[in-house]
Amino acid sequence: MALRKLFRKFAPLALLACALPAHADFYIVVHASNPQRSLTQKEAVDLFMGRSRAFANGDFALIFDLPRDNPRRGDFYKALTGMSVAQVNSYWSRLMFSGQSVPPQALADEAAMAGMLRRNPGALGWLSREPTEPGLRAVLVIKEAANP
């Protein structure tokens, strides 16, 4: 009898969990005063992969990322570039070894990312939730690739 009561109590939660999407969006974010109003996915790839260090208007972009061991980082780069986190790490290792470029500066977590973006008008970063606090603005939304 106790098992039946427990099932009745938690069954709605289980159904709700099944109904929620298995993936989320990623938001490429800048300071609210940044003149860059939007980015294309190609521009975002170029910035986050070190192929470009400036916004389209020529202003320098200070790019931030999450640490290599952050689980959302792999999902972000898969959605942005189609590359696995291992491929992205290998890409950066080659660029750093050859002296061509360095990866975006890693911040501890998304709260630190939001704080850095709020303090620096030239900063560019990403969040796994839509920025709602004052001082931040999304310039591109990337749909997370669905896991097969």
Concatenated DSSP letters of 108-133: SSHHHHHHHHHH-TTEEEEESS---S
Distance CA 119, CA 11 (A): 45
The domain spanning residue 86 has which CATH number?
3.40.190.10
Number of structural domains in the chain: 1
Q: Is 135 inside any structural domain?
A: yes
Asked if 95 and 87 touch (Cβ cutoff 8 Å), the reply is no
Percent of all residues in the chain with a pLDDT value above 70, rounded to a whole number: 82
Within 8 A by CB and 6+ apart from 137, the residues are 29, 30, 31, 32, 34, 131
Mean pLDDT confidence for 62-67: 97
Q: Is 92 inside any structural domain?
A: yes
Domain span at residue 32? 22-143
Q: What tokens does 23 get? A: 């993936």
Given a cut of 70, is residue 3 above it in pLDDT? no
Q: Is 10 inside any structural domain?
A: no
Strands of the sheet containing 25-31, edge to edge, are: 105-106, 62-65, 123-127, 25-31, 136-143
pTM above 0.85, yes or no: no
Residue carrying structure tokens 């896991």: 147
Mean pLDDT confidence for 60-70: 96
